[in-house]
């Protein structure tokens, strides 16, 4: 019965969040992608250092991924423990990057 | 249909028995199949293939005729108390996929740092990594940028489909699910088209005598985008199933979890592509 009550509470939560910024997120993702695509050409034309291009492109990719996870995957509306769960493997991703850089 | 499922639902007291053997069978199929492929022991691959068919068939049959999937179950113990069991399961699967693709991308980066940038205007004599934006770069950046937008748009339609299911808007649900399926199919179609063109231009996953300089780049490109494409194709199969079930009125306010869980997987392939696109198409050596 407790399960049913929690499920009912979940449905109420959903009903309260009728306005979700899905279109705004898509517009943001599209605009950032358009900027990203210019980097190889602009990088050469403006003489942007290669390392800076990499930092920018990986940075924008991380921002886009976080936006998808927060809004499209609904992590923003989930309990804290579920929001923390996907952060776990990121520690290992960081470790792998460090090892690769040292290599 | 949702009511029909609910009507078959077991009594409350039996709520703990909604288990399924088929995920285990599919895990065995993966073990036999990939183990066989890695060791080139073909009987094991055959057993894996048979188990895969049996597993998928059994799972679909259970979903079609079973009763358990209409009943939402939640974890009762801390720290995940109150969270849907199936949603938690999908998140754990997503985490395993993050590990998988991290390893794949890391392997690609390890290959990249072991070759020099390709010289511009002259043929390379040894393995090299082409620079995005140069005339020699073999990949089609504008076409793939459009394809990236298509995949991002499919994530949007998927999120709208989940929201429509949660609100019980059947018409919107069918439209958004069909749009997501169509956009996913277009993404894979464009990728197949690009593969065909690149093969014709001698960019292959293995070394070839015409462009030996691009062998390392080709291997990294096809392995990473190929595994991603395979995941998208798997998602398309899931979406096809959702579309068929939605047409039968399977999903609604009280039974939207199936749409949400496939949606989480679909967004995962979007997130992976968000990283793969700049890494393969926009960042040089």
Return the axis-axis angle of helices B141-167 and A2-16, rounded to nearest 10°: 120
pLDDT given for residue B36 in this prediction: 94
Nearest CA in chain B to A23: B156
Best B117, B155, B164 member to test A by mutation, with max A CBs in 10 Å, is B155
Nearest C-alpha in B relative to A13: B166
Contact B282 A36 (CB under 8 A): yes
* CB–CB contact A103 B160 (8 Å): no
Q: Indicate the pLDDT class of residue B85, thresholds 50, 70 and 90.
A: confident
Neighbour-count burial of A59, counting CB atoms closer than 10 A to its CB (0-12 exposed, 13-18 middle, 19+ buried): exposed
> What value does the mean pLDDT of chain B take?
87
Chain-chain contact of A26 with B284 (C-beta, under 8 angstroms): no
pLDDT at B218 over 80: yes
Mean pLDDT of A91-99: 78
Q: Which two tokens stand for residue B257?
A: 């979890």
Distance CA A43, CA A61 (A): 17
Whole-number Å distance between alpha carbons of B39 and A24: 49
* A20/B79 touch (CB, cutoff 8 Å), yes or no: no
pLDDT at A18: 55
B16 touches chain A (CB under 8 A): no
The pLDDT of residue B9 is 42
Q: Which tokens sit at B23?
A: 């995920």
Phi and psi angles of residue B138, each rounded to the nearest 5 degrees, phi first: -80, -20
A34 touches chain B (CB under 8 A): yes
In tens, the pLDDT along A2-38 reads 444 444 444 445 544 556 899 999 999 999 999 999 9
**Does ipTM exceed 0.90?**
no
Choose, out of A29, A52, A67, the residue to mutate when testing the contact with B (most B CBs < 10 Å). Answer: A29
Q: Which of B84, B109, B281, B282 would you mutate first to test chain A, the one with the most A CBs within 10 A?
A: B282
Model confidence over B24-46: pLDDT tens digits? 999 999 999 999 999 999 999 99
Core vs surface per residue B243-259: b (16+ CB within 10 A) or e:
bebbeeebbbebbbbbb
With 0.90 as the threshold, say if the pTM is over it: no
Q: Which of residues 147-176 of B touch A (CB under 8 A)?
A: 148-149, 152-153, 155-156, 158-160, 162-163, 166-167
Q: What is the largest CA-CA distance in chain A?
A: 65
């Amino acid at each position: 019965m407790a399960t049913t009550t929690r499920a009912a509470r979940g449905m109420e939560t959903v009903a309260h969040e009728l306005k979700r910024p899905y279109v705004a997120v898509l517009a943001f993702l599209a605009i950032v992608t358009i900027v990203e695509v210019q980097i190889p050409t602009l990088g050469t034309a403006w003489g942007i250092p290669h390392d800076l291009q990499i930092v920018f492109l990986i940075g924008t990719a991380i921002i886009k991924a976080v936006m998808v996870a927060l809004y499209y995957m609904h992590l923003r509306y989930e309990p804290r423990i579920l929001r923390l769960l996907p952060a776990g493997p990121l520690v290992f991703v960081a470790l792998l990057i460090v090892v690769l850089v040292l290599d | 249909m949702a009511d029909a499922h609910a009507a078959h639902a077991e009594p409350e007291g039996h709520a703990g028995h909604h288990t399924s053997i088929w995920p285990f069978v599919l895990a065995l199929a993966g073990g036999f199949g990939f183990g066989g492929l890695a060791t080139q022991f073909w009987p094991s691959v055959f057993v894996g293939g048979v188990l895969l068919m049996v597993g998928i068939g059994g799972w679909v049959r259970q979903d079609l005729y079973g009763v358990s999937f209409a009943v939402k179950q939640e974890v009762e113990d801390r720290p995940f108390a109150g969270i849907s069991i199936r949603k938690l399961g999908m998140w754990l699967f997503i985490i395993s996929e993050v590990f998988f693709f991290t390893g794949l991308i890391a392997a690609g980066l390890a290959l990249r740092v072991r070759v020099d940038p390709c010289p511009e205007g002259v043929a390379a004599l040894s393995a090299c990594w082409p620079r995005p934006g140069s005339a020699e770069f073999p990949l089609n950046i504008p076409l793939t940028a459009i394809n990236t937008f298509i995949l991002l748009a499919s994530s949007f339609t998927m999120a709208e489909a989940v929201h429509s299911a949660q609100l019980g808007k059947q018409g919107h649900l069918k439209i958004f699910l069909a749009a997501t399926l169509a956009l996913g199919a277009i993404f894979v179609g464009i990728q197949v088209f690009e593969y065909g063109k690149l093969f014709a231009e001698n960019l292959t996953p293995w070394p070839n005598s015409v462009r030996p300089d691009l062998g390392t780049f080709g291997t990294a490109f096809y392995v990473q985008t190929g595994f991603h494409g395979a995941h998208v194709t798997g998602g398309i199969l899931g979406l096809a199933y959702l579309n068929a079930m939605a047409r039968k009125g399977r999903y609604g306010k009280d039974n939207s979890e199936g749409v949400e869980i496939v949606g989480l997987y679909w967004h995962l392939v979007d997130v992976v592509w968000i990283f793969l696109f700049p890494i393969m198409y926009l960042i040089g050596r």
